[in-house]
């Protein structure tokens, strides 16, 4: 098994455990560079999970061009490698493909409401173009490619300063700092614990019936951001205050996957509740922070 990362946003310590396995090889490379096509260790590969891209709004807005490159050139390179090696490919797209949705919950056939002229566009639109690359490789050479539209995934593997809501709230609550709700907190998200997301991606890879398909992978229990703030406060036993701050531009108001296709085509569904996933996340953060 080979892992590729340029560590532009990931946490190297997440790999400590797996690094001990002799069958695991880590290559510190950028998928957007064409030289990756000639990387010796990648010849003969059978499956590619293409998840390379910053995913936190803070990270991708700091590095818009690297984000666009990872999802466009990077996706093209991964597809070319798959084609050359007769490999299967799962592409990690995003619920951001739906933008600020006018259809709720979001089924795969909903075409989205994305602003091309705003701070989220570098991520949303490059992920969408990545889907187009996948579509063309499937249409033209029947490459066994599958697209996962992943909805907000979390775990203790997120950096404390990643900037996303779960990592911010848990870090703030554990440090006794203010919990920063953007807007009035009525906007919603549906959070999927990482083990459910990974199981979904593996199931997708294994399912031939999913070739050439886009499938939502996420949890369909929806929470307001203010509810999340209260839940994190309760589970950490924190005395942090909840404070309100301006809502970022183009912040989607609603987000919940329709999972009918995932359930019927993959026989997959999430099983970890938000409460359980948050408890695991809090425990991991406590041990990382030496508590």
Which chain residues interact with ligand UDP by CB under 6 A? 57, 152, 164-165, 168, 180-182, 187, 189, 225, 248, 251
Minimum Å gap between C-beta 272 and ligand UDP is 18
Residues 6+ apart with CB under 8 A from 183: 225, 244, 245, 246, 247, 251
* Under 8 Å between Cβ of 180 and 243: yes
Q: How far is 3 from 28, CA to CA, in rounded Å?
A: 8
Pick the closest to residue 66 from 81, 51, 53, 75 (CA basis). Answer: 53
**Which CB atom, from 76 or from 187, has the smaller least distance to ligand UDP?**
187
B/e letters for 168-188, b = 16+ CB within 10 Å, e = fewer, are: bbbbbbbeeeebebeeebebb
Minimum Å gap between C-beta 96 and ligand UDP is 6
Sign of CA dihedral 127, 130, 136, 138: negative
Minimum Å gap between C-beta 191 and ligand UDP is 9
Minimum Å gap between C-beta 104 and ligand UDP is 15
**Which CB atom, from 9 or from 203, has the smaller least distance to ligand UDP?**
9
**Residue among 49, 91, 123, 133 flagged as catalytic:** 123
Q: How far is 104 from 109, CA to CA, in rounded Å?
A: 12
Q: What share of residues in the chain are helix, strand, coil (percent, to 5)?
A: 45, 15, 40
Q: How far is 245 from 168, CA to CA, in rounded Å?
A: 14
Q: How far is 265 from 133, CA to CA, in rounded Å?
A: 23
**Which CB atom, from 36 or from 181, has the smaller least distance to ligand UDP?**
181
**Which CB atom, from 72 or from 167, has the smaller least distance to ligand UDP?**
167
**Which CB atom, from 98 or from 137, has the smaller least distance to ligand UDP?**
98
Minimum Å gap between C-beta 172 and ligand UDP is 8
Pick the closest to residue 112 from 122, 210, 125, 123 (CA basis). Answer: 125
Stated as kind and residue range, the H or E segment containing 284 is helix 274-288
- The residues pairing with 93 across neighbouring beta strands, listed in sequence order, are 149
- For residue 193, indicate whether it is catalytic: no
- The residues pairing with 149 across neighbouring beta strands, listed in sequence order, are 93, 216
**Which CB atom, from 139 or from 275, has the smaller least distance to ligand UDP?**
275
Q: Which single residue brings its beta carbon nearest to ligand UDP? A: 164
Minimum Å gap between C-beta 70 and ligand UDP is 16
Active site residues: 123
């Amino acid at each position: 098994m080979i892992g590729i990362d340029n560590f532009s946003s990931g946490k190297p310590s997440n790999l400590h455990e797996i690094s001990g396995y002799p069958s695991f090889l880590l290559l510190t490379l950028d998928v957007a560079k064409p030289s990756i096509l000639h990387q010796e260790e990648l010849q003969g590969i059978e499956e590619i999970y293409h998840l390379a891209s910053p995913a936190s709004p803070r990270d991708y807005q700091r590095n818009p061009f690297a984000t666009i490159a990872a999802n466009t050139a990077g996706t093209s390179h991964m597809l070319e490698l798959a084609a050359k090696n007769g490999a299967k490919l799962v592409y990690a797209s995003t619920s951001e493909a739906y933008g600020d949705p006018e259809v709720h919950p979001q089924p795969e056939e909903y075409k989205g409401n994305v602003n091309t002229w705003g701070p989220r566009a570098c991520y949303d639109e490059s992920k969408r173009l990545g889907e187009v690359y996948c579509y063309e490789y499937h249409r033209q050479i029947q490459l066994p490619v599958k697209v996962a539209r992943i909805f907000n995934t979390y775990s203790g593997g997120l950096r404390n300063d990643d900037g996303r809501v779960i990592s911010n709230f848990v870090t703030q609550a554990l440090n006794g700092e203010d919990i920063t709700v953007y807007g009035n907190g009525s906007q919603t998200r549906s959070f999927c614990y990482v083990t459910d997301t990974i199981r979904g991606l593996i199931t997708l890879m294994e399912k031939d019936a999913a070739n050439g398909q886009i499938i939502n992978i996420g949890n369909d229990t929806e929470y307001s951001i203010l509810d999340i703030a209260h839940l994190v406060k309760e589970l950490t036993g924190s005395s942090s205050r909840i404070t309100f701050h301006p809502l970022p531009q183009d912040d989607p108001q609603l987000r919940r996957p329709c999972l009918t296709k995932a359930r019927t085509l993959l026989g997959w569904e999430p099983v970890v509740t938000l409460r359980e996933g948050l408890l695991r996340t809090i425990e991991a953060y406590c041990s990382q922070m030496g508590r």
